[in-house]
Structure 1
Amino acid sequence: MIKGLYEAHLPVSNLENSILFYKNLGLELAYIQDNLAFFWIAKGESWLGLWESDKVELPYHPSIRHIAFRVEKEDIIFSKKWLNEKGIAIRTSFGFNEHRQPLVLPNNPHAHAAIYFDDPDGNSIELITPIRIDFQEDFKMMTLEDWLKREE
């Protein structure tokens, strides 16, 4: 019955600034009304709602104010350069600073490569791709660069 995630929502303090930020990421503006804007993530499949609100100052927790965009494995390799070219700072995550990202998350029996940054309101944004599914192997979190060297 469930085929995927259709929408997610984030609070923003200034809708105009946030619209510019998400357009800069390459998302297509789908709908705007009053204090709400929706962007297509995959047109007709999934979208992101941005709500202008005075409730933006909620403390961050991974269960709120976080969204992860799926990218292709080939794209994650160039994600740091792509973000830097757009003037977007990479956030230190799990002790991995900008120079050590993208990183590989050991979600056994899976592995995912990811990179983290914030939108203008401090909402946590992640670019992520699966790099191994259903293969049991214990390993510690590492840089994608180190992962790729292991795979050679």
Structure 2
Amino acid sequence: MIKGLYETHIQVSNLGKAIQFYTEVLGLRLAHRDETRPIAFLWIGDEKEFMLGLWEQKENLQTRHFAFTSTTEDILNYSVKFLENKSLKPYNFLKNGNVEPMVFAWMPALAIYFNDPDGNQLEFISVLEGDGKPELGVLSYEDWMAQAQN
């Protein structure tokens, strides 16, 4: 029955600014803005493939987390520079001041994080080839590759 996740929704404090961030900074495309209520829908990837809903919430904003699918190459070679060029601060899962993408060994998957202007935690993630090794925890890609050889 379930084939994937089609859409997710988050709260934002200013719908216009959020639309601008997600379209101009991250490159999503506006699908529809409902003029009768403070909500907008954005396409992620190809039109009608995946969707993000932005709901304006002026009080008691509840931040969320979600991840954008990316490639391993893009995360390793471009993600940090891309984010920094957009004046966004990348961080790894450990939040230890290092901006190096990290591997969740249980999956395995490579990821780097950043926040939108409202503090929603966003992520670029790429599922890696091979079996997971949960006993390794979270580690650098370099350490993951060294362990994967064993």
Could you tell me which of 41, 46, 49 is aligned with 2:44? 41
Give TM-score scaled by structure 2 length: 0.83
Give TM-score scaled by structure 1 length: 0.82
1:113 matched to which residue of 2? 110
Structure 2 counterpart of 1:106, which letter?
A
Call closer, same or farther: CA 1:135–1:116 in 2, change over 3 Å.
closer
RMSD, aligned α-carbons: 2.1
Aligned-pair CA distance for 1:11 = 0.1
What does the per-residue CA deviation read over 1:65-117, in whole Å, with 9 as the maximum and x for residues that have no partner? 111111112111121111111111124532432x342111122xx21110111
Call closer, same or farther: CA 1:95–1:53 in 2, change over 3 Å.
closer
Q: How does 1:55-94 map to 2 (within 5 A)?
A: 55-58=59-62, 65-77=64-76, 78-91=78-91, 93-94=93-94
Q: Conserved in 2, the CA contact under 8 Å of 1:12 and 1:56? A: no
Aligned-pair CA distance for 1:45 = 1.7
Structure 1 counterpart of 2:74, which letter?
D
Is 1:53 equivalent to 2:57 in the alignment?
A: yes
Count matched residues.
Answer: 144
Point out where structure 1 has 5 or more consecutive residues left out of the alignment.
none
Structure 2 counterpart of 1:71, which letter?
S
1:7 matched to which residue of 2? 7
Structure 2 counterpart of 1:104, which letter?
V
Is 1:144 equivalent to 2:141 in the alignment?
A: yes
Aligned-pair CA distance for 1:140 = 3.3
Point out where structure 2 has 5 or more consecutive residues left out of the alignment.
none
Call closer, same or farther: CA 1:46–1:19 in 2, change over 3 Å.
same
What does the per-residue CA deviation read over 1:103-140, in whole Å, with 9 as the maximum and x for residues that have no partner? 11122xx2111011110100110111101343446313
Q: Conserved in 2, the CA contact under 8 Å of 1:112 and 1:129? A: yes
Call closer, same or farther: CA 1:86–1:3 in 2, change over 3 Å.
same
